[in-house]
Amino acid sequence: MLFSDFTLQLKNMWKFPGGLSEPGEDIGDTAVREVFEETGIRSEFRSLLSIRQQHSHPGAFGKSDMYIICRLKPRSFTIELCPHECLRCEWMDLTDLAKAANTTPVTSRAARLLLYGHREGFEKIDLTMDQLPAVYTGLFYKLYHRELPDSYKVMTGVD
Whether residue 48 lies inside any domain: the answer is yes
CA R_g for the chain: 17
Query: What range does the domain containing 85 cover?
Result: 2-124
Whether residue 144 lies inside any domain: the answer is no
Q: Over the stretch 61-120, which tens digit does the pLDDT of each residue have?
A: 888 888 899 999 999 999 998 888 888 889 999 999 999 988 888 999 999 999 999 999
Whether residue 92 lies inside any domain: the answer is yes
How many residues does this entry show for the chain?
159
**Residue 62, domain CATH:** 3.90.79.10
Whether residue 158 lies inside any domain: the answer is no
Whether residue 129 lies inside any domain: the answer is no
Q: Over the stretch 17-40, which tens digit does the pLDDT of each residue have?
A: 988 899 999 999 999 999 999 999
Structural domains counted in the chain: 1
Whether residue 114 lies inside any domain: the answer is yes
**22, 25, 34, 37: which is the annotated catalytic residue?**
37
Query: How would you class 158 by CB atoms within 10 Å of its CB: exposed for 0-12, middle for 13-18, buried for 19 or more?
Result: exposed
CA distance linking residue 152 with residue 148, whole number of Å: 6
To the query of whether residue 120 is one of the catalytic residues in this protein, the response is no
Whether residue 136 lies inside any domain: the answer is no
Overall pTM > 0.95: no
Whether residue 118 lies inside any domain: the answer is yes
